[in-house]
Amino acid sequence: MPRGMMAMQRGKQPEVTLACLLLAAAGCFADLNEVPQVTVQPSSTVQKLGGTVILGCVVEPPWMNTTWRLNGRELNGSDDSLGILITRGTLVVTALNNHTVGRYQCVARMPAGAVASVPATVTLASLSSHRLFALHLCDHHTAAHAWPSVNV
């Protein structure tokens, strides 16, 4: 059989053939029975209303299809109505709002199976948490840089 060609076996799905042809055309051969792995997990974050959130996910092998879920619902690529941009393993929420907070997971799929990352929770920051953080910073800054007392 010529290089890059594959005999179709009964029960094989068409995407397996397509993946084999694409890989052969690129001069790269991979084991399509390899189970995907998430090697870099997305991290949970807290952000203010309207703020930008960036979540990253790295999967092996790197050529496999990666998608994202929000609260268990599959995101089919970028979603302009939600302000979500997806490029390879990176998801960007351009302006965080009540519809874009929740649990995000990246999902890697190939014919041998699929694997999901650990959930990354995106939470809206409350005003009180900002105040407490600012007070802590001010107290810490004042204590660290106190002026020496001078007797006159």
In this structure, are 69 and 103 located in the same domain? yes
For 75-95, the pLDDT digits (tens) are 988 899 999 999 989 999 999
In this structure, are 125 and 95 located in the same domain? yes
Structural tokens at position 63: 């050529």
- What is residue 17's predicted lDDT score, i.e. its pLDDT? 40
In this structure, are 15 and 42 located in the same domain? no
DSSP string of 26-70, one letter each residue: TT----TTPPPEEEE----EEE-TT--EEEE-EEESTTSEEEEEE
Closest CA to 15 of 119, 89, 111: 111
In this structure, are 122 and 80 located in the same domain? yes
In this structure, are 51 and 100 located in the same domain? yes
Range of the structural domain that residue 25 is part of:
1-30
Residue count of the chain, please give it: 152
Cα separation of 14 and 8, whole Å?
9
* pLDDT, averaged across the chain: 76
In this structure, are 76 and 130 located in the same domain? yes
In this structure, are 11 and 80 located in the same domain? no
Q: For the chain, how many structural domains are there in total? A: 2
In this structure, are 72 and 89 located in the same domain? yes
Structural tokens at position 130: 């900002």
